[in-house]
Structure 1
Amino acid sequence: MEASAKLRYLRASPRKVRLVADQVRGKPVGTALSQLKFSPKRAARPLAKLLESAVANALSQDPNLDPDTLWVKTLRVDGGPIGWKIMPRAMGRAYWVSKRTSHIEVVLTDAERA
């Protein structure tokens, strides 16, 4: 059985979110959550909430499921839309600053690993 959850438009750069996602991909959910809890990265907290949401989705599909048997099958981080902001500079100039967003999708499964 598989369960998934999505987080869209997270105001964090996909490159920085992928650093955290690489640490928990393919691990059991309990290990992944404890890893995220002690991670100093800012993207760790939204990823932990997303994993908890995916576990809740799995339990709503099958109430008899043991959450300890779940593991992270896929964890995909894609880039979302880029917002632009103007930063004033000297002598009347202005620079464009890009504010990146991320879309994250996680899939949990209780099947045995191949």
Structure 2
Amino acid sequence: MQARAYVRGITMSPRKMRVVANLVRGKSVEAAVGMLDLMPKKAAGLISKAIKSAAANAEDKSGGDASVEDLRIHTIAVDGGPIAKRWMPRSMGRANRVNHRTSHLTVVVTDEA
């Protein structure tokens, strides 16, 4: 059985999130959460929270039959969200655009081997 968790509008660039997401892809939920809790990156906390949410969704969906020990990360995807465009004044009357990127995170866990 599969369960999903979505986190949308994360204020972090997808490129930075993917570095952490690639490290936990395919791992068991326990191993992934243990790894992420020791990682000194902002993305690690956000991804860990999403994985725990997906595991809780799996347990709820199965009526309490699914245990966290059996679950593994089937899919983890980081997609780009809306970009907030801002202007930064520069010298001689010019301005440069600053893009504040956001991310959408999708985590799918499964109990199948």
Could you tell me the TM-score, scaled by structure 1's length? 0.94
- 1:111 matches 2:112: yes
Match of 2:59 in 1: 59
2: CA distance between counterparts of 1:13 and 1:27?
Answer: 23
State the SS of the aligned residue for 1:43: helix
What does 1:47-86 correspond to in 2, within 5 Å? 47-62=47-62, 63-86=64-87
What does 1:12-23 correspond to in 2, within 5 Å? 12-23=12-23
Q: Return the letter of the residue paired with 1:15.
A: R
2: CA distance between counterparts of 1:61 and 1:2?
Answer: 9
Q: Note the residue ranges of structure 1 that are not aligned, 5 or more in a row.
A: none
Match of 1:35 in 2: 35
Match of 2:88 in 1: 87
Match of 1:24 in 2: 24
**Deviation at 1:42?**
1.3
Q: Return the letter of the residue paired with 1:33.
A: V
Q: Return the letter of the residue paired with 1:106.
A: V
Provide Cα deviations, 1:17-37, integer angstroms capped at 9, x if missing partner.
Answer: 000000000000000001111
**Deviation at 1:3?**
0.5
**Deviation at 1:92?**
2.7
Provide Cα deviations, 1:70-90, integer angstroms capped at 9, x if missing partner.
Answer: 000000111111111111222
| RMSD over equivalenced CA pairs, Å | 0.9
**Deviation at 1:94?**
1.6
State the SS of the aligned residue for 2:42: coil
Q: Return the letter of the residue paired with 2:20.
A: V
Could you tell me the TM-score, scaled by structure 2's length? 0.95
1: CA distance between counterparts of 2:112 and 2:75?
Answer: 13
Q: Note the residue ranges of structure 2 that are not aligned, 5 or more in a row.
A: none
Match of 1:98 in 2: 99
